[in-house]
């Protein structure tokens, strides 16, 4: 049982993990990126998720990254940690390790490669929840995993005290809406993972977004949420329109290359992606530079 209800909200960057040229974790660049994001108004930081290339780090490397994030954030914003694995056993182990690092919350992607049933998904998350006191976000991303958590399963999982939120990244607004509708009154947050849908999801009742684009345009992403909460709907919608071209530019290169190359173009040391994901082609980089220039992000 958690001691108090943790309510994920706001714009939370799905942080990239800066790497050195030889592909190892770049601690100094990570600390600078954390300061950049917090200074630009984000409401939390999500480390070692999909954008953070979780699949390429060992348990001990993840532990170190969690510790660095906690140290650098120093309580300024909550730290959300990705504890994704295929098996329930490994997911429990990763989540308990994250708890040892004193993170504020974990985000757990559905198992990938295998195709568990809805009952199996329910038991997977319930077992993890039973073995940690940390708040848990269910992370649904069927385009990446081939597994979809339906709204009825989310509603059942929302009854478990330390399962506090879902991140929905399918891009299906109807599914986002059903997550929200079926968890009304359950002290449960729904966060959107598709950056073009932040405003529309807030209108429907979402609590915020875990957004890859917030690495590159943290203030613009935070403005969508902040202005909406302040009642400046026109300003929030304008910020959403301004952000859209960056998310659409993800078509250039292999994810998360566009995010890392965007940061590099902004003068922020992101490093390469883990192989086999390579850099953008020259024509893709030129197109991305044009997007960033039109968004007035390039100095």
pLDDT category, 267, cuts 50, 70, 90?
very high
Cα distance between residue 218 and residue 227, in whole Å:
14
> What tens digit of pLDDT does each residue of 211-225 get?
999 999 999 999 999
Which residues, other chains included, contact 152 with Cβ-Cβ below 8 Å and sequence gap of 6+? 118, 182
Q: Is 51 labelled a binding residue?
A: yes
pLDDT category, 3, cuts 50, 70, 90?
very low
Mean pLDDT across 167-175: 97
Active site (annotated) includes residue 227: no
Q: Is 20 labelled a binding residue?
A: no
Cα distance between residue 163 and residue 128, in whole Å:
10
Q: State the first-to-last Cα distance of the chain, in angstroms, to the nearest integer.
A: 48
Q: Is the dihedral of CA 194, 229, 44, 252 positive or negative?
A: positive
Cα distance between residue 101 and residue 16, in whole Å:
19
Of 80, 122, 125, 167, which one is the catalytic site residue? 167
Active site (annotated) includes residue 139: yes
Mean pLDDT across 75-89: 98
pTM of the entire structure? 0.95
Cα distance between residue 163 and residue 107, in whole Å:
10
Residue 227 has pLDDT above 60, yes or no: yes
Of 80, 139, 199, 228, which one is the catalytic site residue? 139
| Third-level CATH fold of 10-243 | TIM Barrel (3.20.20)
Q: What's the pLDDT at 168?
A: 98
Contact present, 112 and 147 (Cβ < 8 Å)? yes
Q: Which two tokens stand for residue 223?
A: 């403005």
Alpha helices in the chain (DSSP H): 27-39, 59-73, 88-100, 118-130, 142-145, 151-157, 173-182, 198-204, 218-229, 233-248, 257-265, 282-294
Cα distance between residue 131 and residue 231, in whole Å:
40
pLDDT category, 2, cuts 50, 70, 90?
very low
> What DSSP character marks residue 54?
G
> What DSSP character marks residue 14?
B
Q: Residue 297's CB: how many other CB atoms inside 10 A? A: 17
Q: Which of 9, 11, 30 is nearest to 20 (CA)?
A: 30
């Amino acid at each position: 049982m958690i001691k108090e209800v943790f309510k994920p909200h706001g714009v939370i960057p799905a942080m990239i993990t800066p790497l050195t040229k030889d592909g190892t974790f770049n601690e100094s660049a990570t600390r600078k990126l954390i300061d950049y994001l917090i200074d630009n108004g984000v409401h939390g930081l999500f480390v070692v998720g999909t954008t953070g290339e979780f699949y390429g780090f060992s348990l001990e490397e993840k532990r170190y990254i969690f510790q660095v994030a906690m140290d650098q954030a120093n309580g300024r914003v909550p730290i959300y940690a990705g504890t994704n694995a295929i098996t329930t056993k490994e997911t429990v182990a990763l989540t308990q390790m994250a708890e040892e690092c004193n993170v504020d919350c974990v985000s757990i992607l559905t198992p990938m490669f295998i195709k568990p049933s809805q009952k199996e998904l329910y038991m997977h998350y319930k077992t993890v929840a039973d073995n940690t006191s940390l708040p848990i976000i269910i992370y649904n991303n069927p385009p990446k995993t081939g597994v979809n958590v339906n709204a009825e399963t989310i509603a059942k999982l929302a009854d478990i005290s330390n399962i506090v939120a879902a991140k929905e990244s399918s891009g299906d607004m109807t599914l986002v809406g059903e997550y929200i509708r079926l968890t009304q009154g359950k002290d449960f947050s729904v966060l959107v993972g598709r950056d073009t849908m932040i405003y529309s999801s807030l209108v429907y009742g979402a609590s915020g977004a875990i957004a890859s684009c917030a690495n590159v345009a943290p203030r613009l992403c935070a403005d969508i949420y902040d202005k909406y909460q302040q009642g400046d709907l026109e300003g929030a919608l304008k910020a959403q329109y301004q952000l859209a071209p960056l998310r659409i530019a993800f078509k250039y290169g292999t994810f998360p290359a566009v995010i890392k190359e965007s940061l590099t173009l902004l003068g922020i040391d992101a490093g390469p992606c883990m192989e086999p994901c390579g850099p953008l082609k020259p024509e893709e980089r030129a197109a991305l530079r044009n997007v960033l220039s039109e968004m007035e992000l390039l100095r």
